[in-house]
Amino acid sequence: MTLLYEALALAHLEELEALLLHEPVYRHIGGLPEPEAFRRRMRNMLAGPPEGSTELWLNVVVRDGAAGPLLGWLQATLHEGLAEVAFVYGPAHWGKGYARQGLLWLHSHLAQFDGRPALWATTVPANLRSQSLLQRCGYALVDPASAPPLHSYDPGDLVFFRRLPSCD
C-alpha cells in the first residue's frame, strides 16, 4: 500500500469532515462534535500555536495514493523536547494497517528534528484499539506520574512512551 502524507490544508477540511464525523471515531475522544465545532477545531489547527508559543504543530492527512481518498490524520505537538502524537482514521479504514504505517511514518519524520524528541501518547483505558496500535509501534505503558506535563493528558488516561532510535 502506498500512502501519501500531506500537510493539513483548508482544502482537506470538507473531505476530513465526511471521513471523521462518525460516532465510532469520537467514542473515546470526547464524543461526536457538531459539524461547526469540528470545522472550528480544524481551522484552529491550521492557524498553528498561539503567538509567542515555542510549540510546533504538525498536522498531516493520510491519503491512499496520489488520487485516492483520505484515510485519516496524524498529529504531533512538539514542545519541551518531546512530541505528543495522535492519530485519527475513518472507521472504514480501521484494521487495515494504515494507522500503523502512518504512525511509523510520523516517527521517521520526527526523527529528522534536532534533539530527536521523545514520543508520548495518551488514550482512555477503554480505547483498546489505540493501546494495541501504540504497543505494536514500540510504545510502552508508563505511570502517568513519571511523565512530563502533557497537553493531551486528562486524569485517568493511560500514558505511553517511546524513544526514537538514536543515530549511533
Specify which residues 73 forms β-bridges with: 61, 88
- Burial profile 120-156: b = 16 or more Cβ within 10 angstroms, e = fewer: bbbbbeebebbbebbeebbbeeeeeeebeebebbeee
> Is residue 67 helix, strand or coil?
coil
Q: What is the pTM of this model?
A: 0.90
13-45 per-position pLDDT tens digit:
999 999 888 888 777 787 778 889 989 989 998
**pLDDT at res. 115:** 78
Q: Which residues of the chain have pLDDT under 70?
A: 1, 166-168
Q: Which domains does the chain have, with CATH numbers?
A: 3-162 (3.40.630.30)
